[in-house]
Chain A
Amino acid sequence: MAFVVPKETYSGKIYEVTIGKGDKAVTVGGENTLPFLTFEGEVPNRPAIAYEIQDIAPDDWPATVANVYKEVSSNPVTWAKFCQDTLGAKAIALRLIGTHPDRGDASPEAAAKVVADVLAAISVPLIILGSNHIEKDGPVLKAAAEAAKDSGAVLGKAQQENYKTIVAAAAANNLRLVCMSQLDVNLAKQLNILTTQMGFDKEKILMDPMSSALGYGIEYTYSVMERIRLAALQTNDPMMQTPMIADIGANVWKAKETAADIAEWGDVAQRGITWEATTGVSMLLAGAELLVMRHPEAVAVVERTIDELMQ
């Protein structure tokens, strides 16, 4: 007897979120089934990958990934253009790490100028990320949002402790928003509720359940993301139906396995790239629609995997 593939049907559906504008805009989400189960439901959009750049030259990226950008990373505009024009990036994530009080403490105005300059130089969608400093991110992202008004950019990350300023800034400037909670499915829902109660359109939110790297609690992230997605699809929970973003590059390239030159662990460059690619694919399988990554070879591996899984 022929094998019949069992199929589930779900009552819920993930919102479609479009980032950027014009013909380079990228739409993610829209599926009504678990990741890549194209035989079971509709998966109208492929997951997207954004290349991470920073407002200041990276001094803490391992050589494997820092070397890729060493000619361009002293200036965020040249870096962004390199990603877009040479590497073929479909989206760029600009991390304003230089605004962190311990990393140069750049002013909100300076950050806004970087955002404006980068936006002027690229046509692909931009994701604007703060330095993940709760207090400083408020004024920085507010200024950045004004500089990115109506660009379709994504602003992040709003967290429980500072969401009000950031949500208001994203709303006032017609941007998309990343809401991040710390590996907790209930708090993720709560933050989405609070954001929505401020009048922010729930269909413009990307949820960041806080991703991690292979070997550093990825299974925990994975199961939180799975639970979020099942709540969205099975119980049709409108607060859980936002697409998910996984900001993995920063975690992966902090892991000692991606930097330590230990002979018996094999070639460090190959190891680092594999580490990021494996992490990225895992996050996609858990339900992420948008990845933030660093190494172009790792991006290439993940893109090939998406190609195969979307067939």
Chain B
Amino acid sequence: MIIVGERISVIAKRVREALIKRDPEPLKELAIQQVQAGAHYVDLSIGPAEDDGEELMDWGVKVIQSVVQAPICLDTTNPKAMRAGLKAHNNTWGMPLINSASGEQERLNTMMPLAGEFGAEIIALTLNERGIPAMAEDRCVIAAEIMGKALECGVPMENIWFDPLILPVAYQQDKCKESIRAIKMFQELNDPPMKTIVGLTNICQGAPKELKPLIIRTFLTLLMYEGLYAAIADPNDKELMAVIKTTDVLMEKKLYAHSYLEM
């Protein structure tokens, strides 16, 4: 399974300070740690960054790719910053991943053309102006609209990664199963199957700290059973990576060997 390393996020205090001060060291350290632990993409979350987004994204992309040979998941709602990131990105190790478009017209109309222009991969959240639909079927309707827009913008279907949006089990227990169903149904929208991705940590929001890791791991296993393609997660969570590797082995995605956890 594809792992998008989530640790370079504006939400984390240390990262936020580094972004403000343009201190490259924390970003480099986190990028190296995540890629060494098996991350395929490094997420760079700068938030909306309304004042200096372009310059900040350009700086962050270059800092990260100066130390790791991996593509970057460009995480911002600011279209100008997104364009700056796409421009700065070194595509030697894979195309950048736009995080994200959605079924909201404004976001769709700004982000999807960028994916077309730069040949980038793009995460598409299946929500619209009315929010996140309760039922998987309704999320598929939004997905279909997004696919239509992608066609218009010349974005190939295999570049779209659908995110059904995970809601916390502590608050919306009935939505967990819908997200799992959505993962299965998204894939059926195309042949070859559409790619899927989730931000895992949402599932345990509001739950007691000691339960969080267990909830995340168990939920991920269920999603992987339905064919989840990628997860935004912490690759330095060894137990989580062990669960991913074991599920891959049990689903015959990887060949078993006694030391499979160490690879």
Name A's B-contacting residues (CB within 8 A).
185-187, 189-190, 193-194, 197, 227, 231, 235, 237-240
Contact = CB atoms under 8 A, between A and B. Distances in A.
Interface stretch (B73-81, B197-205, B222-230, B252-260): B252-260
A190 B259 contact: yes
B254 A235 contact: yes
Nearest to A228: B255
Nearest to B253: A235
A193 B260 CA distance: 8
Interface in B238-258: 253-258
A228 to B, nearest CB: 8
Nearest to A230: B255
Contact of A186 (B253, B257, B263): B257
Contacts of A194: 259
B262 A237 contact: no
A239 B262 contact: no
Contact of B263 (A193, A227, A231): A193
Contacts of B262: 193, 197
A240 B259 contact: no
Contacts of B260: 189, 193
B259 A185 contact: no
A187 B258 CA distance: 8
28 contacts: A185-B255, A186-B255, A186-B256, A186-B257, A187-B257, A189-B255, A189-B256, A189-B257, A189-B260, A190-B257, A190-B258, A190-B259, A193-B257, A193-B259, A193-B260, A193-B262, A193-B263, A194-B259, A197-B262, A227-B255, A235-B253, A235-B254, A235-B255, A237-B254, A237-B255, A239-B257, A239-B263, A240-B255
B9 to A, nearest CB: 29
Nearest to B259: A193
B255 A231 contact: yes
Contacts of B253: 235
Contacts of A189: 255-257, 260
Interface of B: 253-260, 262-263
Contacts of A240: 255
Contact of B259 (A197, A227, A231, A238): A197
A189 B254 CA distance: 11
Specify which of B255, B258, B259, B260 lies most central, judged by the most chain A CB atoms within 10 Å of its CB.
B255
A190 B256 CA distance: 8
Contacts of A190: 257-259
Contacts of B256: 186, 189
Contacts of A239: 255, 257, 263
Specify which of B257, B259, B260 lies most central, judged by the most chain A CB atoms within 10 Å of its CB.
B257
A200 to B, nearest CB: 14
Nearest to A188: B257
A240 B257 CA distance: 11
A293 to B, nearest CB: 29
A193 B255 CA distance: 12
A238 B259 CA distance: 14
A193 B262 CA distance: 8
A237 B263 CA distance: 10
Nearest to A231: B255
B109 to A, nearest CB: 34
Nearest to A185: B255
A227 B262 CA distance: 21
Contacts of B259: 190, 193-194, 197
Contacts of B254: 235, 237
A194 B255 CA distance: 15
A193 B257 CA distance: 8
A302 to B, nearest CB: 29
A193 to B, nearest CB: 4
Nearest to A193: B259
Given A185-B255, A194-B259, A235-B254, 7 more contacts: A186-B258, A189-B255, A189-B260, A190-B257, A197-B259, A237-B254, A239-B257
Contacts of A231: 255
B36 to A, nearest CB: 15
Contacts of B258: 186, 190
A189 to B, nearest CB: 4
A129 to B, nearest CB: 25
A194 B254 CA distance: 17
A240 B262 CA distance: 15
Specify which of A187, A190, A240 lies most central, judged by the most chain B CB atoms within 10 Å of its CB.
A190
A240 B256 CA distance: 11
Nearest to A227: B255
Contacts of A235: 253-255
A8 to B, nearest CB: 13
Nearest to B256: A186
Contacts of B257: 186-187, 189-190, 193, 239
B156 to A, nearest CB: 15
A161 B124 CA distance: 52
Contacts of A185: 255
